Amino acid sequence: MARVRFIPVVGLLLVGTVLSLSWSAAAGTSPTATRPTATPSPAPATPAPTPAPAPTNAGKIFKWGNAQWDDDFVGPLKSMWQVNRPTMVRDQNGMLTINATQASGSVVATALGHNRRYGRWEARVRGRQYGAAGTPFTAVWELVPMYGGYHCAARNIVLSQYALDSSQTSMHVRNLPSADFHTSKALHLSGDTWHTYAVEVTPDHVSWFVDTRVVRTERRPAALSAAVFAARFRLVAGSTAPMRQGRMQMDWVRYYTLARKDAQSIEAPPLTTGSYADAC
């Protein structure tokens, strides 16, 4: 009978260990080492969404709806604008531009053909003066009565009035015979800085808005003239010569009806009572 030869298990284990060490050395690795795990790259950060520009007009904040009438001053000056010095008033780069020189006197632009008793008017306005000598012009954005007499501006509603070198603007609601309900607000007005001024005129109140915020609401009957108004912009010359060259620009002007209620409260302090000395 053939003889069976047994190989010790220990020998087999030693042979396997030697072979494993030989393979590991050839591969340049340790027999017990593990392959390093690649660290995943961080996901690119999601850019923060660009916030929508904040509304710059009261019409959007108070949700007055679509403007019934507006002018964005694109193209030649529309025929509805009546001006006293045609060479000094024009549409320039999408802005109604009123220029005044040392010798021009006051320069006026009035919108005819869209006269209203009640509603909301708003415009985006800025002013600038040139040079260093002379009396500054006064920039005025106002509503003027079309019927019943002008009375030397004694029935006007002034949305903004300030000298071009000033740091505050004033608001006036005037009524016959010489009432002047008024207030003022400090603003940065130099350097071609834009501001929006609006007024809401109803049978029972007048509210004044600056840069989307209601500033005053006047409810006393003596301030409510029920006049029919037209929009007007002007640079007013002072009584002291020489004048200092100036410019007034309007980005747009809009009129809204009272059909939609204010989306926010218009509660605000009343105007200050005074007297208008130039009434006639």
Kindly report, residue by residue over 135-169, the tens digit of the pLDDT: 999 999 999 999 989 999 999 999 999 999 899 99
Among 172-181, 239-248, 268-277, the range scoring the smallest mean pLDDT is 239-248
Say if residue 52's pLDDT is above 70. no
In a domain, 11, yes or no: no
pLDDT classification of 40: cutoffs 50, 70, 90: low
Q: What integer pLDDT is reported at residue 46 of this predicted model?
A: 56
Reference 95, options 111, 119, 71; nearest CA is 71
pLDDT classification of 132: cutoffs 50, 70, 90: confident
In a domain, 186, yes or no: yes
Helix (H, G, I), strand (E, B) or coil at 114: coil
Q: What integer pLDDT is reported at residue 38 of this predicted model?
A: 55
Q: What is the mean pLDDT of the chain?
A: 86
In a domain, 83, yes or no: yes
Say if residue 37's pLDDT is above 70. no
In a domain, 249, yes or no: yes
Phi, psi at 83, each rounded to 5° = -125, 150
pLDDT average, residue stretch 111-119:
96
Q: What integer pLDDT is reported at residue 4 of this predicted model?
A: 43
| Greater pLDDT, 13 or 115 | 115
Say if residue 77's pLDDT is above 50. yes
Say if residue 215's pLDDT is above 90. yes
Rounded to a whole number of angstroms, the distance between the first and last alpha carbons of the chain is 148
Q: What integer pLDDT is reported at residue 14 of this predicted model?
A: 34
In a domain, 104, yes or no: yes
Reference 158, options 202, 127, 107, 197; nearest CA is 197
Strands (E), the chain: 69-71, 81-83, 89-92, 95-100, 107-111, 119-129, 135-136, 138-145, 157-163, 168-175, 179-186, 195-201, 206-210, 213-218, 229-236, 243-244, 246-256, 272-275
Q: What integer pLDDT is reported at residue 23 of this predicted model?
A: 36
In a domain, 36, yes or no: no
Containing structural domain, residue 75: 58-275
Say if residue 92's pLDDT is above 60. yes
Q: What integer pLDDT is reported at residue 265 of this predicted model?
A: 98
Q: Which residues contact 268 (CB under 8 A, 6 or more apart)?
A: 207, 208, 214, 215, 216, 217
CA-based torsion, 150, 151, 155, 161: positive or negative: positive
Cβ 134 vs Cβ 244: under 8 Å: yes
Query: Could you tell me how far CA 46 lies from the centroid of its own chain?
Result: 30
Task: Give the predicted TM-score (pTM) of the model.
Answer: 0.81
Q: What integer pLDDT is reported at residue 17 of this predicted model?
A: 42
Half-sphere exposure of 18 toward its Cβ, with a 13 Å CA cutoff?
6
Cβ 218 vs Cβ 206: under 8 Å: yes
Q: Quote the CA–CA distance of 127 and 99 in Å, as a whole number.
A: 10
Tokens linked to 57: 């007009």
pLDDT classification of 20: cutoffs 50, 70, 90: very low
pLDDT average, residue stretch 196-222:
98
Say if residue 280's pLDDT is above 60. yes
The CATH number assigned to the domain holding 125 equals 2.60.120.200
Q: What integer pLDDT is reported at residue 185 of this predicted model?
A: 97
Among 24-28, 35-39, 213-217, the range scoring the smallest mean pLDDT is 24-28
What is the total count of domains within the chain? 1
In a domain, 203, yes or no: yes
In a domain, 9, yes or no: no
pLDDT average, residue stretch 37-46:
57
Hey, how many other C-beta atoms are within 10 angstroms of the C-beta on 245? 19
